[in-house]
Amino acid sequence: MSLQAKSVNQQLETIQAELPAGTVLHLWLKARTAGGQAKLSIAVDGGDAGEPSTRRSAEFEFFAVTLAKGGSATLSYDAATTSLSVAYAFRPETVMEEGIRLLHSDARTAAPEVPDSYHFRPPFGWMNDPNGFGRFGGNAHLFYQHYPHELRWNTMHWGHAVSKDFLRWTHLPMFLFPADHLSEDDDGRGGAFSGSAIAVGEDIRVFYTEHVRDRQPEEQIQLSAVSRDGIVAGPSETVLPLRPEGLDLTTDFRDPYVFKGPDGRWKMLLGSRDKTGGVVLLYETAAADGADGWTFLGIIHREDGFGMTAAECPCMVPLTARNGETRWALIFGLLTSRDPATGRRNLTSVIVGRFDGRTFTAEFEQELDFGSDAYAFQAFVDGDEPVGIAWLANWTDFTKKDDFPTAMTLPRRVLLEGDTVLTPPVAAAESLRHQLLDDTALAAGKTVPLGTGAVEIVLDLTAPGAAFELAFDHPDVDLGVKLDGDGLAIVFDARTGKTPPRYIAAGAKPSSLRIFLDAGSIEVFADNGRWAGSKRIPGFAAARSATLTGTVAKASVWQLKL
């Protein structure tokens, strides 16, 4: 496919592409002025192929157009009257392999240009929570909270991508849309909020929260939809229209996570809140397809730590102990939480215990990520062990007034070792190692250039907890990794004049570390993920060099590339 965009005059904009027959175009249009009309003409080899139009001016309207014949396609519109947010093309029969072809995204929608980055980002627009993370039809599928028309949160859709190895992703068409009435204005009244997905035969069934601000009696209800082709969701049906009675819950009632319990039945977790703090609710159904029959079993867990409000984005996966016994890890976000010792916000908790399908008995608890920018973690069992991914950001840093481009974390394995949960990167992360930049100079205390800035630094220490400090030369922030008597820390200061939180795993004494730097992020994994820390870095400037203070047994620096 060849693409060409040009301005014929000050008003007429054209997009040209060679497109085969059967190509589907997805377009979002709106009128520039109230009472005006937006119109886009589609021609193939000079012949009319469609002319979607709308009088909507408050928000973009979605159109899908299928081309009956192939050839030289021209999309044209008057930019004085018509605003085009996004346009992409795909062939349904090959989109899983080829992905979408982005034809247009305007300046406020376009993704950042970070060609050397190896973290997942959407091809355009806003992204937050991972949703429906799972393997279907041989591919890993990642759905995510998405707003296509700005790099700011608004009415939620579900974006979609697939991968063979959790690292190299193919972008697919928009999977799930908000209700029509929520798309009439860009007021962020609600949309298709977070959820999960299960395989039902060859189909994918998704569960999600529909949020409508000020709706009575429920702002948040649970819906489900089925995709027959794995590309787009079919019509949605309500599966849980009301919160459970008698618990005095707030209107928080969201993020359905559906999984197969130890008794073979489908279970659903939901996050909520009562007067004492966050709660995780448990439902089940005997229906093999999960379509209906959901029954409330009770509150599976309560949490009121760090001044949190609601429990969010719960998930639960089985882990195998050394003795072969199964334990279950319940993972959820502590919305609005604040650790007074460090100033970190919106923490994520991991509770490990026994689960019989109806009751959960906690045995120990730990924090998922000491950097606290691994939110809305969602995992599924892939083969014989769980794999999870999280939003590499934190709501504390978000403002509705500013663009907030983000990425997902590196996907992580979830392992149980004694009374500790480990979350190392997936094994495929080693395939990112493109070139060895250094294996002597950094350990000798010399400053090492970091090339593109997309690197992995591997440190083997002389003894557990042996002190060191790794400082990065970054143009926008103060950045480093430090290990001393207090523990393992990501040193971060955005140079705003405000005192930053302390991103620290208190008391940690690791023997080895893997440190991943990328445009807009740093992730630290110590002792095979016994301690993991993730931090979003504002902007996309690359770290230029690294300098190590202290003695290490070995240090190597790898240039990374997809």
Tokens of 398: 């978000």
Q: Which of 24, 7, 26 is nearest to 16 (CA)?
A: 7
pLDDT of residue 117: 96
pLDDT of residue 7: 45
Q: Are 139 and 162 in contact (CB under 8 A)?
A: yes
Block residue for tokens 């004085």: 80
Whole-model pTM: value is: 0.96
Q: Helix or strand or coil: residue 307? A: helix
What order do you get walking across the sheet with 61-66 strand by strand? 61-66, 24-31, 82-90, 101-105
Q: Are 203 and 228 in contact (CB under 8 A)?
A: yes
Q: Are 205 and 225 in contact (CB under 8 A)?
A: yes
What single DSSP character describes residue 96? Answer: H
Q: Which of 256, 100, 96 is nearest to 174 (CA)?
A: 100
Q: Which of 514, 487, 351 is nearest to 419 (CA)?
A: 351
Question: Would you give the distance in Å from CA 333 to the centre of its chain?
Answer: 14
- How far, in Å, CA of 357 to CA of 382, rounded? 20
- How far, in Å, CA of 445 to CA of 546, rounded? 10
Q: Which of 469, 458, 455 is nearest to 545 (CA)?
A: 455
pLDDT of residue 8: 45
- How far, in Å, CA of 279 to CA of 304, rounded? 9
> What average pLDDT values come out for the chain (562 residues) when binned by 10 residues?
48 96 98 96 96 97 97 97 97 98 93 94 97 97 97 96 98 97 94 98 97 97 98 98 97 98 98 96 98 98 94 98 95 97 97 98 97 97 96 92 92 97 98 98 98 98 98 97 98 94 98 98 98 96 97 98 96
Q: Which of 331, 320, 335, 208 is nearest to 272 (CA)?
A: 335
For 399, phi and psi rounded to 5 degrees?
Answer: -140, 140
pLDDT of residue 153: 95
CA distance readout (Å), 254 to 180, 245, 250, 276: 20, 16, 11, 18
The counts of H helices and E strands in the chain are 1, 43
Angle at 541 between CA 373 and CA 488, to 5 degrees: 40
- How far, in Å, CA of 227 to CA of 173, rounded? 13
Q: Which domains does the chain have, with CATH numbers?
A: 3-90 (2.60.120.260), 107-113+124-422 (2.115.10.20), 429-560 (2.60.120.560)
Tokens of 376: 């809305």
276 burial level (CB within 10 Å; 0-12, 13-18, 19+): exposed
Q: Which of 313, 352, 351, 327 is nearest to 262 (CA)?
A: 327
pLDDT of residue 10: 61
pLDDT of residue 5: 47
